[in-house]
Chain A
């Protein structure tokens, strides 16, 4: 095993923990993206460029876009509900 491979594995292990440790969903999305990039590097140094390409397109674009848009919708609904409640209280 080369030094590059050990470094890639270490990055994956560290960032995997980082994804779990990030509690705020918004921040978690970005950490997840970086974790995907680390996975991509790992696949690449372990000589699997096809898998690396799949990983990079899914983890840096495909998934974050959907999560971020879903988060925005959730925030919108929370905002609307809060406004409704304030209207009733008045």
Chain B
């Protein structure tokens, strides 16, 4: 196809797309003028029925908990794919441990960066735990908090200490965390099935809205997701890090 024909084809496509987009946007309700019924119903029963003051988390881990189960396993399966593709192949090898011992070769981090990481690691871990356990009260929850938790060990790597990061978050531990978190979320659903007769129906005491231990299954499900997400991100990152830093192809020998 010549350049001119391609441009013509693109022009037709872009004009059609633009027209549909403008028509579609014109039909949207104005910002702040929501017209659905479902949202209003949930808005009304979030605090009274589920004892959760953050409606988004209540939606994710209670009203639509089954959807979250699917999303959970999308992340789980994709991380499994990363592990499978980036496994150590024949002809590849990791650097000998002698070289690993000299960490300064891996990344030249300045003293300032190292001091910053020292401050960041506990702060990130504390923030991650806070966001995970307060999911039902304030914005945040398992997913967001889980990623923040995973950045704690990552800050150790940023300080030029990759080998230390592997000691702090070994492959087996993060893999087990990933799996246990995914299983825990499934168990919350099964708990509903066993004790109340409906999958993902709340079976735990609900407590007082706004308190740390409240909203029944939402809190537990959020914690399980937090564990799964932090494990998943750490598994994926360490696989990428292994490839970029330690693994050498056969051509390098």
Contacts and interface: CB of A to CB of B under 8 A. Distances in A.
Contacts, number: 54
Contact of B144 (A1, A5, A46, A57): A57
B241 A69 contact: yes
Interface in B57-108: 57
A4 interface: no
Interface residues of B, number: 24
A62 interface: yes
A61 to B, nearest CB: 5
Contacts of B151: 57, 61
Contacts of A72: 244
A49 interface: yes
A77 B92 CA distance: 12
Give the dominant DSSP class at B's interface: helix
Interface residues of A, number: 24
A33 to B, nearest CB: 14
A66 interface: yes
Nearest to A54: B144
A80 B249 contact: yes
A81 B147 contact: no
A77 B249 contact: yes
B144 A73 contact: no
A73 B243 CA distance: 7
A65 B237 contact: yes
Nearest to A81: B251
A51 B236 CA distance: 22
B237 A66 contact: yes
Interface string B30-70: 01000000000000000000000010110000000000000
Q: SS class of chain A's interface: helix, strand, loop or mixed? A: helix
Interface of B: 31, 54, 56-57, 131, 139-141, 143-144, 147-148, 151, 154, 233, 236-237, 240-241, 243-244, 249, 251-252
Given A50-B56, A51-B56, 18 more contacts: A5-B31, A50-B54, A50-B139, A50-B140, A50-B141, A50-B144, A57-B151, A61-B151, A61-B154, A69-B240, A69-B244, A70-B240, A70-B244, A72-B244, A77-B249, A80-B249, A80-B251, A80-B252
17 contacts: A1-B31, A5-B31, A49-B139, A50-B141, A54-B144, A57-B144, A57-B147, A57-B148, A61-B147, A61-B151, A65-B154, A66-B237, A66-B240, A69-B237, A69-B240, A69-B241, A76-B244
Pairs of residues from A and B, 7 with the lowest C-beta to C-beta distance, nearest first = A49-B139, A57-B147, A50-B56, A69-B240, A53-B144, A69-B244, A72-B244
